[in-house]
Amino acid sequence: MQTFKYLKKTLLISALFLPLTGLAADVSLLNVSYDPTRELYVDYNKAFASYWKNKTGDNVTIKQSHGGSGKQARSIIDGLDADVATLGLGYDVDQLYEKGKLIPKDWQKRLALNSSPYTSTIVLLIRKGNPKKIKDWDDLTKTGVSVITPNPKTSGGARWNYLAAWAYAQKQGGNEAKTQEFIRKLFKNVPVLDTGARGSTTTFAERGIGDVLIAWENEAFLAQKEFPGKYEIVIPSLSILAEPPVTVVDKYAKKHNTEAVAKAYLGYLYAEEGQEIAARNFYRPTLASIAKKYESQFPKVNLVKIDDDFGGWQVAQKKHFSDGGTFDQIYQK
Amino acid sequence: MFTKKNILPGFNLSLGYTILYLSLIVLIPLSAAFIKTAELSFNEFWEVVSAPRVVASYKLTFGASLIGALINAVFGLLTAWVLVRYKFPGKKILDALVDLPFALPTAVAGITLATLYSAHGWIGAWLELLSIKVASTPLGVIVALTFIGLPFVVRTVQPVLEDLEAETEEAAASLGANRWQTFSKIVFPAIWPALLTGFSLAFARAIGEYGSVIFIAGNLPFVSEITPLIIYIKLDEHEYAQATAVAVVMLVISFLLLFAINGLQWWLSRRNNSSY
């Protein structure tokens, strides 16, 4: 509290002198992100701006752009000059190198923890009282259960959903054919494939379609907050560690001369304040102290990892989601 | 070729601007699609555009657009007729309502329709009792495409009906034509070309529609996946050439259909004129 007062005073004083000195530079950053991070980055941008002001005296304004992860990556490749990209999955960031050569190949090694300052996982959101008795993934394949998930072709979140279900089926001792059969049965219960995660949440929560929504954990928490008392979260026996990675887009940051501030912007996500903001917005923090503080909010989940269990995004994408992949095969006649 | 002198000069200049304008706005972007598609070999191209899932989407897109445009042709004509021929309180409001599908952002229309027609929606709940499902089915696609196409027919037929003087009908009646003859021989031939224009506009608009359909369609492969969504999916896979290949097929089919409709219209109007 004391420090806060002090901070306010300094801010006030510096504000008074600002017109006289005129030394503070105005910097502007563009953060191109995916769909459910809207609320997170609104909070974080405010925090970072005041942190940066204190540290360097510069005024930084951050513009945000949100949309489906794949679409956002495409926009950057097509010339949307983002200084930083904070997308839903590594594959989409990989494309910035593959298709645009905007970042180096080893971009994911540049920041700690696979460049993922916060993580999330995939959970099941069900209607109050659990009328269909849904406890785990295998309940989603039963007849009469209606499942809502977006289209993995267009939604990053849906790819995590798909892989989580796949991992569960595989761990049940199923061989490849059995696993695929499990997934096929699950998708037979899907009446609507929305193009994005937010669309699916709307279909489930507002339109009242389906018995269960496969969703980002943060999205599930948010739906619970928006509609108190209407939904419950079920933690499946196995899920996937979703790592939404962040990177500086070197080519554009260099052009705008914003490399230093862009780097600091991402770095501060790992700092205590950044982690706290992530946790408050229902993303799992990676810093031990904050993780401990929010322990009760995030239940323990058995998690597989994309790198260990699926051989990384490039391999997983090719096998499951590219043209003719396992997802396409589900619908093949 | 240009022997006929116009009273107002400037043919060369205005034609030049027309061509420049059309090139910038229409031709160059469209030819870019063709150029991008040329990255594929013919076999690759054929494989992409004839994949069963893509073909299923053509059927849905063109079929639903056609049905939507036909529904609009019938009810749009009726609406135009009522708006032109009768006086009643609230007519101005009704007239303004017709333009709403034009003005409403398509995504808003889509979300509204999807909510109304979902199993728990105001309309959907009643249809559910009759076990008719609209949202997430091809029927939903037709509903959305009918909605966005409505103004085209009404607005093209309306002015023609207004120009059609009641005297011609009175003359027909006084010469002994019954009501059906008056309509089919006098009124209908006069509005038919306009109706066809409205129909083809509504049809063309429906083929390219994305925003309003995507929320109500359900987007299930082979069932309710429209071609614009296939293109969108291919773009998200960073398969730009494949996406443009499908787009080119859509363009060619649309162009041929519109060309055929225009030809039909030209033929009809020539036949009508010669009969006077």
Q: Is residue A275 included in any domain, yes or no?
A: no
Nearest partner of A64 among A95, A89, A39, A88, judged by Cα: A39
Q: Is residue A210 included in any domain, yes or no?
A: yes
Residues A38 and A142 in one domain: no
Nearest partner of A159 among A75, A233, A244, A97, judged by Cα: A244
Q: In the structure encoding, which two tokens stand for residue A258, read together?
A: 């914003």
Q: Is the pLDDT of residue B22 over 50?
A: yes
Are A320 and A327 in contact by the 8 Å Cβ rule? The answer is yes
Nearest partner of B207 among B156, B153, B262, B251, judged by Cα: B251
Which chain A residues are Cβ-neighbours of B221 within 8 angstroms? 328, 331
B249: closest CA of chain A, how far (Å): 19
Question: Pick from B111, B121, B238: which is nearest to A74 by CB?
Answer: B238
Q: Which residue range(s) make up the domain with A260?
A: 2-116+243-270
Rg over CA atoms, chain A: 21
Are A158 and A89 in contact by the 8 Å Cβ rule? The answer is no
Which chain B residues are Cβ-neighbours of A322 within 8 angstroms? 237
Residues A210 and A320 in one domain: yes
Residues A152 and A20 in one domain: no
Q: Which residue range(s) make up the domain with B156?
A: 42-275
Are B73 and B200 in contact by the 8 Å Cβ rule? The answer is no
In the stretch 208-247 of chain B, residues with CB closer than 8 A to chain A read: 214-215, 218-222, 229, 232-233, 235-239, 242
Instruction: Give the confidence band of A1 by pLDDT, cuts at 50, 70, 90.
Output: very low
Q: Is residue A285 included in any domain, yes or no?
A: no
Q: In the A/B pair of chains, how many CB contacts fall below 8 A?
A: 70
Instruction: Name the least confident of A139-148, A242-251, B261-270.
Output: B261-270
Q: What's the pLDDT tens digit per position in A66-79?
A: 988 888 999 999 89
**3-class SS of residue B151:** helix
Residues A139 and A253 in one domain: no
Question: Which contiguous run of DSSP H or E holds residue B103?
Answer: helix B100-103
Q: Is residue A284 included in any domain, yes or no?
A: no
Q: Is residue B195 included in any domain, yes or no?
A: yes
Q: Is residue B27 included in any domain, yes or no?
A: no
Residues contacting residue A332 through CB under 8 Å, at least 6 positions apart: B52
B233: closest CA of chain A, how far (Å): 6
Q: Is residue A262 included in any domain, yes or no?
A: yes
Q: Is residue B140 included in any domain, yes or no?
A: yes
pTM to 2 decimal places: 0.80
B246-267 residues labelled b (16+ CB within 10 A) or e (exposed): bbbbbbeebeebeeebeeebee
Residues A134 and A180 in one domain: yes
**3-class SS of residue B270:** helix
Residues A216 and A228 in one domain: yes
Q: What's the pLDDT tens digit per position in A79-105?
A: 999 999 999 999 999 999 998 899 999
Q: Give the helix, strand, coil percentages of chain B, each rounded to 5.
A: 80, 0, 20
Q: Averaged over B46-59, what is the pLDDT?
A: 93
When divided into structural domains, chain B yields a total of 1
Nearest partner of B199 among B254, B247, B154, judged by Cα: B154
Residues A69 and A124 in one domain: no
Instruction: Give the confidence band of A20 by pLDDT, cuts at 50, 70, 90.
Output: very low
Q: Would the CB atoms of A191 and B220 count as touching at under 8 Å?
A: yes
pLDDT on residue A174: 75
Question: Pick from B115, B135, B220: which is nearest to A193 by CB?
Answer: B220
CA A243, CA A313: separation in Å to the nearest integer? Answer: 11
Q: Is residue B19 included in any domain, yes or no?
A: no
Q: Averaged over B3-20, what is the pLDDT?
A: 82
List alpha helices for chain A, DSSP H.
2-21, 38-56, 69-77, 90-98, 112-115, 156-171, 176-188, 197-205, 217-226, 250-256, 259-267, 272-280, 288-293, 306-310, 312-316, 326-331
Question: Pick from B118, B237, B242: which is nearest to A207 by CB?
Answer: B118
Q: Is residue B34 included in any domain, yes or no?
A: no
Q: Is residue A279 included in any domain, yes or no?
A: no
Are B229 and B243 in contact by the 8 Å Cβ rule? The answer is no
Q: Is residue B101 included in any domain, yes or no?
A: yes
CATH number at residue A46: 3.40.190.10
**3-class SS of residue A82:** coil
CATH number at residue B178: 1.10.3720.10
Pairing type for strands A118-127 and A284-285 reads antiparallel
Question: Pick from B119, B235, B237: which is nearest to A323 by CB?
Answer: B237
Q: Would the CB atoms of A195 and B219 count as touching at under 8 Å?
A: yes
Q: Is residue B87 included in any domain, yes or no?
A: yes
When divided into structural domains, chain A yields a total of 2
A331: closest CA of chain B, how far (Å): 6
Q: In the structure encoding, which two tokens stand for residue B239, read together?
A: 């398969």
Residues A12 and A99 in one domain: yes
Q: Tokens 């990556």 identify what position?
A: A73
Quickly count: other Cβ atoms within 10 Å of residue B165's Cβ. Answer: 9
Q: Is the pLDDT of residue A329 over 80?
A: yes
Instruction: Give the confidence band of B239 by pLDDT, cuts at 50, 70, 90.
Output: confident
Nearest partner of B217 among B136, B117, B139, B146, judged by Cα: B136
Half-sphere exposure of A99 (CA within 13 A, CB side): 20
Nearest partner of B120 among A146, A122, A271, judged by Cα: A146
Q: Would the CB atoms of B233 and A328 count as touching at under 8 Å?
A: no
pLDDT on residue A288: 94
Residues A234 and A257 in one domain: no
Higher pLDDT: B59 or A199? It is B59
Q: What's the pLDDT tens digit per position in A258-316?
A: 999 999 999 999 999 999 999 999 999 999 999 999 999 999 999 999 999 999 999 99
Q: In the structure encoding, which two tokens stand for residue B31, read together?
A: 């030819």
**3-class SS of residue A124:** strand
Mutate which: A91, A96, A98, A153, vs B, most B CBs within 10 A: A153
| Alpha-carbon separation of residue A60 from A27, A45, A47, A101, B124 (angstroms) | 5, 9, 11, 27, 49
Q: Is residue B5 included in any domain, yes or no?
A: no
CA A226, CA A204: separation in Å to the nearest integer? Answer: 13
| Alpha-carbon separation of residue B8 from B1, B11, B12, B17, B79 (angstroms) | 17, 8, 12, 16, 39
Q: Tokens 């990675």 identify what position?
A: A245
Q: Tokens 């862009």 identify what position?
A: A262
Q: Would the CB atoms of B135 and A209 count as touching at under 8 Å?
A: yes
Rg over CA atoms, chain B: 22
Half-sphere exposure of A317 (CA within 13 A, CB side): 18
